Amino acid sequence: MVNPKSLGADEVYRQCPVEDLDFDTTESLEDLTTPCGQERVVEALQFGTGIRNAGFNLFLLGSRGADRHQLIKRFLGDRAVGESTPPDWCYLYNFETDDSPRAISLEAGHGRKFRADMDQFIEELRTSVPAVFESEEYQSRMQELQEEVEQRQQKGIGAIEKEANENGIALISTPTGFTLAPLRDGEVMDPEEYEKLPDKKRRQIEEKVAELQKKLQQAIQGIPRMRKELRKRVRSLNEEMILFTLKGPISDIKERWSHVPDVIAHIDAVRDDVVENADAFRGERGGGPPEELLDRYRVNLLVDNAAVSGAPVIYEDLPNHHHLVGRIEHQVRNGALSTDFSLIRPGALHRANGGYLILDARRVLTHPMAWESLKRVLFSGEIRIESLERLYGLVSTTSLQPERIPLSVKVILLGERTLYYLLAHYDPDFLELFKVEADLEDELERSDDNYPLYARMLATVARRAELQPLDRGAVARMIEHASRLAGDQQKLTANDRILRDVLMEAGYWAGEDKSPVIEAGHVQRAIKERRERAGRMRRRSLEQIRRGTVLLATEGERLAQVNGLSVIQLGGFSFGRPMRITATARPGRGQVVDIEREADLGGPIHSKSVLILSRFIGSRYAGEGELSLSASIAFEQSYGGIEGDSASLAETCALLSAIAKVPLKQSLAVTGSINQHGEVQAIGGVNEKVEGFFDVCREAGSLAGHGVLVPASNVDNLMLEREVRDAVEAGTFNIYPVTTVDEAIAALTGTIPGEPDEQGVFAPDSFNRRVADRLSTFADRAARRRHGGKRKETGNRDDPDNDDEL
């Protein structure tokens, strides 16, 4: 076993050779038509938008940095242009059931024309129809009708009056009817004189009066029938006059819209309604028809596609229930809420009908009922406008139930992967409705072949953001930064939003320098400034270490103490922070106490890693014998939670140091996880961790022999900052790739770890032999205790870790 060899500067950073880029500036590069490295997503989008079957809606998922909106809008924009424009939709008054407005579709752009035609027709109604009613002809015919019926009414009564007069009886009007009385000399007879008449004469008169009363009753009871007949004849007259007046305008409209049966039916219904409401059209003393009546004939143009070329692409940025399915507004009339078909407002689904609707999944899910409404509409294939108040029964005001509108739309949900998988898991409808999954790549392969493509992507981004072009150096620096963002020498980030932000900042600094192109220095400054702006916590952390508030040694050797490395993520910025890890070891029941877990500060992965390392120690050093160990591990001065297994190598080293009583070098920091066989495994955030320790060492004084032990499998992830690279090149700071615990021990202790022989016994004087011997001593003591029953004379009986009483 030899000490691990430190990496060279070229191994901790992969540069992008400027000479590989065969252009001067990105101005000469063409725009990228398809997103770089997203061919699989583009294919999914082509499939998802091409297939017309129900349920094949799309979910475009990707990480936060990916500019999903730009991508989908660009894609759909190109696609929709070649598609046919969907029809306009109008709501009209329903003359049969006034609370269910009718929906009709018209060819795109014809909705406006229909609305204008109806407005013009209404103006015609407003002036022509009242004029008809004021005309001499109408007045005269109406008078004739009324007089005729009145005469018929009065004829019967008049005949009775005549008969009464002929029999010497008067028909007298009273305020509430008629009465009959005997006459003499043209006046009603005095009752006293009447009494003097002979009985026979009086009887004749009274019989005649009774007969006439009966006839009078019959005549009066026939009056309602005659009035009904009058109404019927008045209606016929109104119809005749109105139809004559409106014949021209109605014919014109019908001729223009003869190809649309729904419009023809509506015009016929309007005509009938005008006839039905002739009285209202006559108005009060020539005041004209009431506006409420005329408004019924207007057109509510719900969806106007006149200005749309191709299929509509709608993005709804506030996808609540009403904005999706539309709403029915109300207005206050005489203190009460009322509504009509003209107050129906479209939703995004109406506007996107026949095209594409883009929605943010998270926003849809966070608005009450929006998700349920969207699913309901997609399942039914129809848009039904229903207000939330009505759905929940919160208000009982009158409302409408507009006719449903058939829906043909492709919905594209945009969201993070977590959302997609949560929906797929918990909502059984989700995969029924969103069958096409378009998963954006987070990273692209970094290869010489991809450089020109990536450069074109940067050129496109710069052009769209109206930035200066980039020179070759700037492109190379951007590619290197993309690799750093991907955390991989072999990859480039596909998160174009972050790249665009960096480019825009670089463009700003280029502008400050009055440079016509963005150079590498501008890109570097943008990266540095971003880091500085977000670096308050990082600086504070360094200060605490420098002032000794947080204890961390970077010189000398210490027993059972090692520098571990953690990563702190704050918003979009992360940095590495070294932490002291300590361990203790004493005889016990063969367990390692994870203090973080005991204090409820450790996460489950961390707990798992501690269990793994304890089993590694047990199986490696105790062999078939008994492991008598009571150990503990702690992250010193850690007041937040610890999660992850990337410290398990450091923890193992600290524990082995405690058991073997061999000190560890404090000039080195350790990161990496281990398995039960002592092999070192890859971890995340390696760059931040290395740079974090580098910063601490530099703050503590001059660099000399400092370094970090990293898993060998993480070497490809190294994309370290220039300052670190310079130190590596100068040999003052070293990166040691390790593959086993033994390699880490060798580097940290300067001793030979030692290999076991065939019997599993380690070489004398080796580090591992010291570990095994100490554990054997622990086991012997434990065995003696068990067999001898001798109690330990010293030790705190209250100590829960006091396991010596075996």
Partner 1 sequence: MMSSEDREKSPNAQQRRIVVLFDASPPSLQALSAARDLAARLNAELHAIYVEETDLLRSSAFDFAREISILSGSSRPLQSDDGAGNLRRHLRRLRAVLDEVADAGQVRYRLLVRRGEVVREVLDIAGPDDVLVLGRVGWGARLGRSIGSTSLMLARQAPGSVLIWSEPVATRASRVVMLAEAPETVPACLALACDRARVRGSDLSILLCPLPDAHAASERERLIERHLASFGIRAHMQELPVANTANVLQALGRERAVELVVSRRGGLLDSPVAERLLERIRLPVSVAA
Is 189 a residue that touches partner 1 (CB under 8 A)? Answer: yes
Q: Toward partner 1, which CB reaches closer, 189 or 411?
A: 189
Q: How far is the CB of 237 from partner 1 (least distance, A)?
A: 15
Residues ≥6 apart with Cβ < 8 Å to 609: 644, 645, 647, 648, 651, 673, 674
What residue has token string 């004021």? 134
Is 342 a residue that touches partner 1 (CB under 8 A)? Answer: no
Residues 258-297 that bind partner 1 (CB under 8 A): 282-286
Q: Which stretch binds partner 1 (CB under 8 A): 29-37, 152-160, 260-268, 639-647?
A: 152-160
Q: Which two tokens stand for residue 435?
A: 């069958």
Q: How far is the CB of 106 from partner 1 (least distance, A)?
A: 39
Query: What is the DSSP track for 219-283?
Result: HHHTHHHHHHHHHHHHHHHHHHHHHHHHHHHHHHHHHHTTT-HHHHHHHHHHHHHHHHTHHHHH-
Is 172 a residue that touches partner 1 (CB under 8 A)? Answer: yes
Q: Which stretch binds partner 1 (CB under 8 A): 205-213, 260-268, 626-634, 716-724?
A: 205-213
Q: Which stretch binds partner 1 (CB under 8 A): 149-157, 262-270, 369-377, 609-617?
A: 149-157
CA distances from 15 to 3, 372, 720 (A): 28, 51, 11
Q: Toward partner 1, which CB reaches closer, 283 or 644?
A: 283
Is 165 a residue that touches partner 1 (CB under 8 A)? Answer: no
Q: Kindly tell me which residue out of 155, 425, 528, 786 binds partner 1, with binding defined by CB under 8 A.
A: 155
**Residue 63: which of 359, 360, 416 has the closest Cα?**
416
Q: How far is CA 738 from the centre of its chain?
A: 45
In the chain, the amino acid numbered 805 is E
Residues 516-535 that bind partner 1 (CB under 8 A): none
Q: Which two tokens stand for residue 514?
A: 């009055």
Q: Which two tokens stand for residue 561?
A: 């103490």
Is 198 a residue that touches partner 1 (CB under 8 A)? Answer: no
Q: Over the range 700-713, which residues count as b (16 or more CB within 10 Å of their CB) and which as e?
A: beebeebbbbbbbb
Q: Toward partner 1, which CB reaches closer, 210 or 599?
A: 210
Is 450 a residue that touches partner 1 (CB under 8 A)? Answer: no
Q: How far apart are CA 736 and CA 715, in angstroms?
A: 9
Q: Kindly tell me which residue out of 58, 104, 118, 216 binds partner 1, with binding defined by CB under 8 A.
A: 216
Asked whether 581 and 561 are in contact (CB, 8 A), the reply is: yes
Beta bridge partners of 314: 357
Q: How far is the CB of 276 from partner 1 (least distance, A)?
A: 20
Q: Toward partner 1, which CB reaches closer, 180 or 633?
A: 180
Q: Toward partner 1, which CB reaches closer, 217 or 447?
A: 217
Binding mask 117-146 for partner 1 (x = CB under 8 A): ----------------xx-x--x---x---
Q: How far is the CB of 299 from partner 1 (least distance, A)?
A: 31
Torsion of CA 71, 74, 79, 85, to 10 degrees: 120
Q: Toward partner 1, which CB reaches closer, 78 or 206?
A: 206
Q: How far is the CB of 246 from partner 1 (least distance, A)?
A: 20
Asked whether 9 and 729 are in contact (CB, 8 A), the reply is: yes
Q: Toward partner 1, which CB reaches closer, 209 or 806?
A: 209
Q: How far is the CB of 135 from partner 1 (least distance, A)?
A: 9
Q: How far is the CB of 289 from partner 1 (least distance, A)?
A: 13
Q: Which stretch binds partner 1 (CB under 8 A): 206-214, 453-461, 654-662, 668-676?
A: 206-214
Q: Which stretch binds partner 1 (CB under 8 A): 112-120, 167-175, 463-471, 705-713?
A: 167-175
Asked whether 594 and 704 are in contact (CB, 8 A), the reply is: no
Q: Which stretch binds partner 1 (CB under 8 A): 90-98, 151-159, 477-485, 660-668?
A: 151-159
Q: How far is the CB of 287 from partner 1 (least distance, A)?
A: 9
Other CB atoms within 10 A of residue 767 CB: 24
Q: Which two tokens stand for residue 314?
A: 């709608």
Q: How far apart are CA 681 and CA 644, in angstroms?
A: 13
247 is catalytic: no
Q: What is the DSSP letter of 64?
A: T
Asked whether 401 and 12 are in contact (CB, 8 A), the reply is: no
Q: Toward partner 1, which CB reaches closer, 185 or 624?
A: 185
Q: Rg of the chain's alpha carbons, rounded to an integer?
A: 47
Q: Which stretch binds partner 1 (CB under 8 A): 203-211, 257-265, 367-375, 454-462?
A: 203-211
Q: How far is the CB of 244 from partner 1 (least distance, A)?
A: 19
Q: Kindly tell me which residue out of 206, 291, 382, 543 binds partner 1, with binding defined by CB under 8 A.
A: 206
Is 23 a residue that touches partner 1 (CB under 8 A)? Answer: no
Q: Kindly tell me which residue out of 96, 187, 449, 758 binds partner 1, with binding defined by CB under 8 A.
A: 187
Q: Look at the alpha carbons of 568, 716, 666, 594 in this order and tell me if their dihedral is positive or negative.
A: positive
Is 178 a residue that touches partner 1 (CB under 8 A)? Answer: yes
Q: What is the DSSP letter of 488?
A: -
Q: Toward partner 1, which CB reaches closer, 129 or 613?
A: 129
Q: Toward partner 1, which CB reaches closer, 58 or 242?
A: 242
**Residue 128: which of 298, 289, 285 has the closest Cα?**
289
Helices in 520-646 by DSSP H: which ranges?
520-533, 536-546, 595-598, 604-617
Q: Kindly tell me which residue out of 28, 179, 236, 418 binds partner 1, with binding defined by CB under 8 A.
A: 179
Q: Which stretch binds partner 1 (CB under 8 A): 70-78, 211-219, 708-716, 749-757?
A: 211-219
Is 234 a residue that touches partner 1 (CB under 8 A)? Answer: no
Q: Toward partner 1, which CB reaches closer, 282 or 706?
A: 282
Q: Toward partner 1, which CB reaches closer, 215 or 586?
A: 215
Residues ≥6 apart with Cβ < 8 Å to 535: 573, 575
483, 614, 632, 646: the catalytic one is: 646
Query: What is the DSSP track for 92-106?
Result: E--SS-TTS-EEEEE
Q: Toward partner 1, which CB reaches closer, 160 or 510?
A: 160
Q: How far apart are CA 471 and CA 515, in angstroms?
A: 11
Q: Which two tokens stand for residue 80?
A: 């929709």
Q: How far apart are CA 291 and CA 203, in angstroms?
A: 64
Q: Over the range 649-676, which residues count as b (16 or more CB within 10 Å of their CB) and which as e?
A: bbbbbbbbbbbbebbbbbbbbbbbbbbe
Q: Kindly tell me which residue out of 220, 369, 424, 559 binds partner 1, with binding defined by CB under 8 A.
A: 220
Q: Kindly tell me which residue out of 30, 52, 53, 174 binds partner 1, with binding defined by CB under 8 A.
A: 174
DSSP-derived 3-state class of residue 406: strand
Q: Kindly tell me which residue out of 1, 18, 209, 453 binds partner 1, with binding defined by CB under 8 A.
A: 209
Q: How far is the CB of 333 from partner 1 (least distance, A)?
A: 26
Q: How far is CA 603 from the centre of its chain?
A: 31
Site size toward partner 1, by CB under 8 A = 47
Q: Which stretch binds partner 1 (CB under 8 A): 155-163, 369-377, 567-575, 649-657?
A: 155-163
Q: Over the range 88-122, which residues count as b (16 or more CB within 10 Å of their CB) and which as e?
A: bbbbbbbbeeeeebbbbbbebebbbbbbebbeebb
375 is catalytic: no
Is 393 a residue that touches partner 1 (CB under 8 A)? Answer: no
399, 673, 689, 766: the catalytic one is: 689
Number of H helices, E strands in the chain: 29, 30
What residue has token string 């065969």? 22
Q: How far apart are CA 35 and CA 643, in angstroms?
A: 36
Q: How far is the CB of 208 from partner 1 (least distance, A)?
A: 10
Q: How far apart are CA 408 and CA 411, in angstroms?
A: 10
Residues 569-628 that bind partner 1 (CB under 8 A): none
Helices in 191-222 by DSSP H: which ranges?
191-196, 199-221
Residues that bind partner 1 (CB under 8 A): 133-134, 136, 139, 143, 150-151, 153-155, 157-158, 161, 170-182, 187-191, 194, 206, 209-210, 213, 216-221, 282-286
Active-site positions read 646, 689
